[in-house]
Structure 1
Amino acid sequence: MAIDQNDDARVQGVSIRELPKVSLHDHLDGAVRPETIIELADAISLEVPETDPGALADWFAERSDSGSLVEYLKTFDLTTAVMQTREGLTRVAREFVEDLAADGVVYGEVRWAPEQHLQGGLSLEDVVEAVQEGIEDGEDAVEAAGRDIRVGQLITAMRHTDRSLEIAKLAVEFRTRGAVGFDIAGPEDGFPAANHRAAFDYLASQFFPVTVHAGEAAGLDSIRSALIDGRALRLGHGVRIAEDLEVISREGEEVFVQLGDLARWVRDREIPLELSPSSNLQTGAIEQWGKELEDHPFDLLYQLGFAVTVNVDNRTQSRTSLTRELALLAETFEYDLGDLEAFQLNAAAAAFLSVEEREELIELIADGFAR
């Protein structure tokens, strides 16, 4: 059983869960079901902090609500520990896909770092194949249940290690076997994309899509490096692009904002922002603006015309789903179905798919919202 994720959330009387959705920023090791962690841990004699699924879900939520990305990331020690075997990886990937489909997602991209799953003796190729097997099993199970979903892998390198070129080559190797893009993740502050220039040069030479975690734990310099050194087509989070906005006047409810050169570039080039509202609160990414969802610059960025998308980041740690994130935003900023559709269309346009596939996805979303 997956985590409770606001089954009854509605906007204008319509179930958000039943609307077709696109998930772009969703970590595999951040979406492991608590009951699966307990069962896999028992199989390898690994001690867990709680042996009841509900209590373990509470443990993740409490530990993750620290206001620090570094502390937030420590909770992944447990999830990655049960993902060191082919069986564990395949099961987690299969359930990941099933949970996405249950949340109404029709297209998803799952990001994960193969280099973190080698402790059981598997090779980099072994772990990617195991995850792909799980994804395909999940897609088959969803189809058998009468729904459709497609999920692609974002092969991720850890920014504080020195394996990024090796992982980039791995991603390209699997581009016809499930890999749709590349990412770097992990501690952002002090580890800019510039440190991995060789990997990004290689990916550019292979015309392989890149998204980069930036503008979460670090500010504008991180975003600048992601765009210049990483040639990022999307920004993982990117919420701190709001630091390059200056409110110059207010007239009633109208706010007049001046954009800096970086913010204007991101907006005018429609570089997608992979915003994750609940996670951004938990990690302190928006602390300079406040500590409540209403303080999140999401709505300001949306109103200014940035290509905002809505994401979960880590479903287990944030005890969330895409349905819940959309429900929270709708409640906080009084969004209607048209707004929620705009977020999904932005995500569909940003997907690492061919033009034809993105057009089909956009049509699928438009039809679903029209119904």
Structure 2
Amino acid sequence: MDTNSTEYQLEGDGADIRALPKVSLHDHLDGGLRPQTLIELADELDLELPATDVEELSAWFERQSNSGSLVEYLKTFDLTTAVMQTRAGLGRVAREFVHDLAADGVIYGEIRWAPEQHIARGLSLDEVVEAVQEGLDQGVEDVRHQGRRIRVGQLVTAMRHADRGLEIAELAVRHRDNGVVGFDIAGAEAGFPASRHRTAFDFLATQFMPVTVHAGEADGLESIRSALFDGRALRLGHGVRLAEDLTIERQDDENTYVSLGPVAQWVRDRQIALETSPSSNLQTGAIAAWGDELVDHPFDLLYQLGFRVTVNTDNRLQSGTTLTRELSLLSDAFGYDLDDFEVFQLNAAAGAFLPLDDREDLAEQIQDGFDEA
């Protein structure tokens, strides 16, 4: 598994990618546990794991996650959520999550998770949100004492196959003054469109709560259309299958001529951010229509066409990755340089669920950091 001690230098520029200021918009709390923490929490709860050695457990997660199926990929979360059922467990995971983001150069992170999956041992929905926020706050304070700065927010998530959308939406709104910055739906995408939770999205709209929706990962254009229409999504979680709405008309030695369908045109023209996660998209088969290597990912095509692409990790444990590593992989695949990396971070800052003034401040931090690189 990638560690914070790994160095990534940008070819040509020689810049330390890890030191660059970054924004993380799509990072799951239950997908970012440290293997050692998972082992220790499981021991406290007398839960059996497939391995009790850090390296062996990390390798197990990567093997299980490289299935090419989102459904199979999601099964690994049975273990991580199992140890996140107590105040202490939730708080520790959240605190370490912030530490790991900061160590990777992240200056703003939105952390998504589904409270309904963490009440098996008697905590209420409000109590689990409070426990996670306490951990996040402690993590931010720890980072401050280390002489660095990071800001984080919760994205409260409803499971799309369940029927608790409105309840979770109301939960998100109740805690908007205690760290919650937005709402999401996640889980098995195919067969569970955003329209199933239309009542929840209607309520969120009346409360002016920002929404992102997992769409265009394990299902196609109709799922994206539902996210935009029923969910009023301001961002698309992954969104890579939006490329199904692009038609390559012709190519020559210098240019590729592409026409956009109505969904793609809408997303690009309104600069709806795409929360792409390259390694995860390979693991779950999200880009299977285009190939099975990172160079086949439609990320570069979307970028060149002017879509607001952002780079994310999705689940650092399952993918054995960091945001630094994802940027490095994209650079290797598409020849990106420091200027491209800056665009990706500014895209993420523009799409963040923050007030305008805060987004502008975030953009300034990014520009200053890249100027110093």
CA distance in structure 1 between the partners assigned to 2:36 and 2:147 by the alignment: 25
Q: Is the 8 A contact 1:216 1:240 kept in 2?
A: yes
Which residue identity is paired with 2:366?
I
Partner of 1:158 in structure 2? 159
* C-alpha separation in 2, matches of 1:119 and 1:232: 30
Q: Secondary structure at the match of 1:182?
A: strand
Q: Give SS of 1:119's match.
A: coil
Matching residue of 1:342 = 343
Instruction: Supply the distance in 1 between the matched residues of 2:254 and 2:59 (Cα, whole angstroms).
Output: 39
Say whether 1:183 aligns with 2:184. Answer: yes
Note the C-alpha offset of 1:8. 1.2
Deviations 1:197-249 (A, max 9, x none): 00000000000000000000000000000000000000000000000000000
Give CA-to-partner distance per residue, 1:29-66, whole Å, 9 cap, x none.
00000000000000010011000011100000010000
Aligned residues: 370
Q: 1:68-112 CA deviation, whole Å, 9 max, x = no partner?
A: 000000000000000000000000000000000000000000000
Answering whether residue 9 of structure 2 is matched by residue 16 of structure 1, we say no
Identity fraction in percent: 68
Computed over aligned residues only, the root mean square deviation of the Cα atoms, in angstroms, reads 0.8
Q: Against the structure 1 CA distance between its residues 310 and 109, is the aligned structure 2 distance closer, same or farther, given a 3 Å change threshold?
A: same
Question: 1:252 & 1:101 partners in 2: Cα distance?
Answer: 43
1:275-322 per-residue CA deviation (whole Å, 9 max, x = no partner) reads 000000000000010000000000000000000000000000000000
User: In the alignment, which residue of structure 2 is the partner of 1:297?
Assistant: 298
Q: What's 2:72 paired with?
A: 71
Is the contact made by 2:4 and 2:103 (CA closer than 8 Å) also made in structure 1?
A: no
Task: Give the distance between the partners of 2:265 and 2:227, measured in 1 at CA.
Answer: 16
Aligned residue type for 1:224: R
**SS state of the match for residue 367, structure 2?**
helix
Paired position in structure 1 for 2:199: 198
Other-structure match for 1:25: 26
Alignment of 1:108-187 (within 5 A): 108-187=109-188
Q: Structure 2: give runs of 5+ residues left out of the alignment.
A: none
Q: The residue matched to 1:10 in structure 2 has which SS?
A: coil
Per-residue deviation, residues 147-185 of structure 1 (Å, max 9, x unmatched): 000110000000000001000000000000000000000
Counterpart of 2:293 in structure 1: which amino acid? E
In 1: Cα distance, 2:78 partner to 2:235 partner = 27
SS of 1:17's equivalent in the other structure is helix
Distance 2:168 2:5 in 1: 36
Q: Is the 8 A contact 1:181 1:209 kept in 2?
A: yes
State the 4+ residue runs in structure 1 displaced beyond 3 angstroms.
none
In 2: Cα distance, 1:119 partner to 1:253 partner? 57
Matched residue SS, 2:319: coil
Q: Write the distance in 2 (CA, Å) between the matches of 1:182 and 1:281.
A: 25
C-alpha deviation, 1:253, in angstroms? 3.8
State how far apart, in whole Å, the 1-side matches of 2:364 and 2:2 are.
30
Residues 335-365 of structure 1 show CA distances to partners (whole Å, capped at 9, x for unaligned) of: 0000000000000000000000000000000
Check the 8 A contact 1:3/1:33 in 2, yes or no: no
Q: Distance in 1 between matches of 2:185 and 2:159?
A: 6
What is the Cα deviation at residue 7 of structure 1? 2.4
TM-score by length of 2: 0.98
Equivalent residues in 2 for 1:1-371 (5 A)? 3-4=2-3, 7-11=6-10, 12-371=13-372
How far, CA to CA, are the matches of 2:331 and 2:4 in structure 1?
15
> Where does structure 1 lack aligned partners over 5 or more consecutive residues?
none
Q: Deviations over 1:100-146 (max 9, x none)?
A: 00000000000000000001100000000000000000001000111
2 CA distance for matches of 1:101 and 1:54?
23
